[in-house]
Each structure stands twice: as C-alpha cells, then as structure tokens.
C-alpha cells in the first residue's frame, strides 16, 4: 500500500505521508512548452509546522479500502497507524485526481469480523459450458453442472476459512483473496460426486478440478474479509 511512514503535527493535527514522490516536480504547460517546477512536499510540511510538536507514525498493517480496490487513487481508505504508544485511525480521501489526498483522524478503530468462503459459481459454470474440453467424453448438461456446483458449495460450507491457505490476492477488491482447495477437500468433493456421476464423468470432473484450482482460477475459493469501522466520536479534520 505505501512505505508506512507518516508525520503528525500535534499542534494542528496535520499529517504528512512521507513517500518517494515528495520531491516529484510539478509540470506546467505554457505557450506549448512544458515547464518543470521543483517541489519538496516534506520540506514544505516541515517549514509550515516549524516549532510545532511533530512525531513519526508508522502503519500497523491494518487497513480497509471502503470501495474495494487498493490501487484506485480515488478510493477512500482507512489506515491504522501508531506512534508507539497510541493507535490512530486515518481516513484518507481525495476529491479530484489532481488534488492531494486528505487525511482525517477518526476516533475509532477497525474491527475485523472474520473471514468467509465462497465459490466462484458463475465462473465455474461459464468455464464448464464454454471453454473446458470434455474430450473424449461428452460435455455435462446444465442439470449435472448445477449439481456439481451445489456439491462443491456444500463441501466448502463445512470448511474453516482460517485453514485455507491464500494463493493470490485480488487487484480489484482489498477484502478478497483466493485460496487453493487442498487435496483432502478435493477428495471429499469427488467422493460426493461419485454418488451422482458416472465413472467416466468423474475422471473428467477430476481433470477439470485439478486444472482450475491454482491462483485465482475458477475452482479457487474466494476468501472474503469482513471489516467494519467503529467510530466513537466525531472526527477532526486535518488540513
């Protein structure tokens, strides 16, 4: 997310995020030419708050992106930081892409509400119907595809999300990661399938599962992280 370094002014509750872009120049267009204007955001912040009580802050690792994506520069987020004694919650927002981000100290905390597991039912169905090669057998009909998905959902519903190892993270939603179902989970699934499918169909289903459970492929499990922001009082704006 970032380098985890912030500076807090205790006198006026201003916060500066220390980044590699502090010294990035400003470019202005004039008369068809591009003019480079030197900048140093860190130096400007330190000069503005000279004589004030300043303290370093570092991230704790807890964060929450309200709209999902961590890479969206316009996405509001909550970032937990600490000075070594006190833990603060920063609310980061931006009105326009050309404007700097704005930080607000929130008198609250992030509450982890646990993990849940989901299957990618729509993606599984699409892959089975449109892309997967069932040769030398015949493609499964809609009834059998729905049955397979229902059995998979039943198996996953009995799992403890904490026992599923993460195989990949989502670039679109910070609350989502993907977990690879291990061999024991697949064995349980195939055992259930054996009661409803022909031996030839079971071989094809096993091939489908084994070739689509890595990374974020369709048989990977969605691990959804539930987070809430518990606010205890009104926030104070940081300018």
Residue 154 has pLDDT above 50, yes or no: yes
User: For helices 183-193 and 199-210, what crossing angle results, to 10°?
Assistant: 150
pLDDT digits (tens, 9 = 90+) for 83-124: 888 888 898 888 887 777 888 888 888 888 889 999 999 999
Residue 9 has pLDDT above 60, yes or no: yes
pLDDT band of residue 48 (cuts 50, 70, 90) is confident
Which one is predicted more confidently, 104 or 47?
47
Q: What mean pLDDT is predicted for residues 45-50? A: 89
This prediction has a pTM of 0.70
In the chain, where do the E strands start and end?
5-9, 14-17, 26-30, 33-37, 54-65, 77-82, 87-93, 102-106, 108-118, 166-169, 176-179, 221-231, 236-237
How much is the pLDDT for 71? 65
pLDDT band of residue 3 (cuts 50, 70, 90) is low
Largest Cα–Cα distance in the chain?
79
Q: What mean pLDDT is predicted for residues 1-21? A: 81
How far apart CA 60 and CA 78 sit, in angstroms, is: 12
* 156: Cβ contacts below 8 Å, ≥ 6 apart: 117, 118, 119, 181, 185, 221
With beta carbons less than 8 A apart as the criterion, state whether 230 and 109 touch: yes
Instruction: Encode 203-238: b = buried (16+ Cβ within 10 Å), e = exposed.
Output: ebbeebbeebbeebbbbbbbbbbebeeeeeeeeeeb
Q: What mean pLDDT is predicted for residues 10-32? A: 79
How much is the pLDDT for 236? 46
pLDDT band of residue 172 (cuts 50, 70, 90) is confident
pLDDT band of residue 70 (cuts 50, 70, 90) is low
How far apart CA 87 and CA 80 sit, in angstroms, is: 7
pLDDT band of residue 64 (cuts 50, 70, 90) is confident
pLDDT digits (tens, 9 = 90+) for 180-227: 999 999 999 999 999 999 999 999 999 999 999 999 999 999 999 888
Residue 79 has pLDDT above 50, yes or no: yes
């Amino acid at each position: 997310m970032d380098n985890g370094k912030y500076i807090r002014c205790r006198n006026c509750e201003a916060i500066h995020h220390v980044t590699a872009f502090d010294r990035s120049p400003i470019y202005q267009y004039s008369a068809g030419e591009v003019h480079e204007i030197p900048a140093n955001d860190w130096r400007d912040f330190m000069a503005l708050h000279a004589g004030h009580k300043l303290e370093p802050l570092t991230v704790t690792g807890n964060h929450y992106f309200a709209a999902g994506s961590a890479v969206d520069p316009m996405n509001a987020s909550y970032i937990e930081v600490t000075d070594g004694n006190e833990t603060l919650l920063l609310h980061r927002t931006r009105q326009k892409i050309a404007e700097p981000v704005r930080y607000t100290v929130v008198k609250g905390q992030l509450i982890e509400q646990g993990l849940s597991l989901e299957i990618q039912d729509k993606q599984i169905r699409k892959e089975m119907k449109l892309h997967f090669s069932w040769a030398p057998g015949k493609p499964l009909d809609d009834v059998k595809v729905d049955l397979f998905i229902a059995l998979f959902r039943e198996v996953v519903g009995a799992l403890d999300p904490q026992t599923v190892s993460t195989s990949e993270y989502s670039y679109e939603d910070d609350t989502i990661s993907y977990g690879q179902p291990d061999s024991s989970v697949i064995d349980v699934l195939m055992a259930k399938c054996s009661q409803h499918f022909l031996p030839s169909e079971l071989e094809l289903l096993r091939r489908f599962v084994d070739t689509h459970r890595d990374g974020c492929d369709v048989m990977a499990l969605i691990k959804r992280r539930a987070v809430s922001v518990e606010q205890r009082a009104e926030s104070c704006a940081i300018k």
